[in-house]
Amino acid sequence: MNKESVSVLGCGRWGSFHAWHADRIGCNVLLWGRPDSKRLARLASERKNEYLTLPESVRLSDSLTEALGHAETVIISVGAQGFRALCKNIAALSPSLWRKKTFVLCMKGLEQESGKRLSRVFREELGADPAAAVWVGPGHVEDFVAGIPNCMLLASEDETLPPRLAQLLESPLIRFYYGSDLLGVEIGAAAKNVVGLAAGMLDGLGLPSLKGALMARGAAELSRLVAAMGGDSMTVYGLSHLGDYEATLFSLHSNNRRFGENLIRGLPSEKLAEGVYTADALALLGQKHNVELPITDAVRSVIRDGADPKQVLLHLFLREQKSE
């Protein structure tokens, strides 16, 4: 058994899963949530949420100082739009608590207002010293807890870091692959949520057969953006983007797909899906790098401008002939 200490920052669906998984492979785990977190309060009183039951061996804390002092490896799983604020809170603590740690960013998103990748946000707030990697790829908490395995992806600017993290975190449930193009991995992982919104809209309109065209167009569209930004255009055809389509465009567990479908059907969604913020960020990147993003534009026109979804999506796929 492992016995290495791991801290997880964020106690939502994925944060609680990472704590559950790290404990399952034998790590000494502390799960952190904000002092006013209702999710942390429920875990403290019931040891469970709607996804899983946490074993008693997982410690809970609302002290960021305690969480950072607990372990050398820190997994972060919070909402992408709150990530910079968390980084600022970490940076305000004694550097001895965080400067030599290894951080694993388990989020799929971009900063809405700037379009920046989360690894860049991390560096801007915490500097070059802490080691950092991103952990993305297909999978749902519900499936993992049920014992259904999947493949996921680790990527870092430091090519030696993903193999070290895989040795610590791999299990029969998760097989890791390594990504060498951090830019492409982060853009692809975030953008698949926007494609997921479009897929849900197609479901809501009774047009699921168009998901094939959506998948082909989505990957091609994002490959051009990644290349224009200086990444490898082929990265989006791996686990971070195309490899995550099944879990995002088809699964009943997909928040983004469900949000898009609910929007069309006039049903409420419990919270705003991450893809809504990402669509705004991608639009900024498309303008900056002079890359057309028709799927992103279509999703934003429906969500932000109230455009007729059937007209917008049929025009997207059935407009005048053109090459892929």
Per residue in 157-181, pLDDT (tens digit) is 999 999 999 999 999 999 999 999 9
* The pLDDT of residue 254 is above 50: yes
- Asked if 214 and 195 touch (Cβ cutoff 8 Å), the reply is yes
- All structural domains of the chain with their residue ranges: 5-180, 186-318
69-73, 116-120, 249-253, 268-272 — which is least confidently predicted?
268-272
The CATH number that domain 186-318 falls under is 1.10.1040.10
Residue 118 confidence class, pLDDT cut points 50, 70, 90: very high
Mean pLDDT taken over the chain: 95
Annotated catalytic residue, options 101, 108, 116, 192: 192
* The pLDDT of residue 322 is above 80: no
* The pLDDT of residue 72 is above 70: yes
pLDDT > 90 in the chain, percent: 95
* The pLDDT of residue 129 is above 50: yes
The pLDDT of residue 1 is 46
* The pLDDT of residue 143 is above 80: yes
Q: Tens digit of pLDDT for each residue in 204-247? A: 999 999 999 999 999 999 999 999 999 999 999 999 999 999 99
Residue 76 confidence class, pLDDT cut points 50, 70, 90: very high
* The pLDDT of residue 134 is above 70: yes
The pLDDT of residue 319 is 65
Q: For 91-96, what is the mean pLDDT?
A: 97
- Asked if 27 and 191 touch (Cβ cutoff 8 Å), the reply is no
The pLDDT of residue 2 is 54
CATH entry 3.40.50.720 includes domain 5-180: yes
pLDDT > 70 in the chain, percent: 98
| 192 has catalytic annotation | yes
3-state SS of the chain? CCCCEEEEECCCHHHHHHHHHHHHCCCEEEEECCCCCHHHHHHHHHCECCCCECCCCCEEECCHHHHHHHCCEEEECCCHHHHHHHHHHHHCCCHHHCCCCEEEECCCCECCCCCCEHHHHHHHHHCCCCEEEEEECCCCHHHHHCCCCEEEEEECCCCCHHHHHHHHHCECCEEEEEECCHHHHHHHHHHHHHHHHHHHHHHHCCCHHHHHHHHHHHHHHHHHHHHHCCCCHHHHHCCCCHHHHHHHHHCCCCHHHHHHHHHHHCCCCCCCCHHHHHHHHHHHHHHHHCCCCHHHHHHHHHHCCCCCHHHHHHHHHHCCCCCC
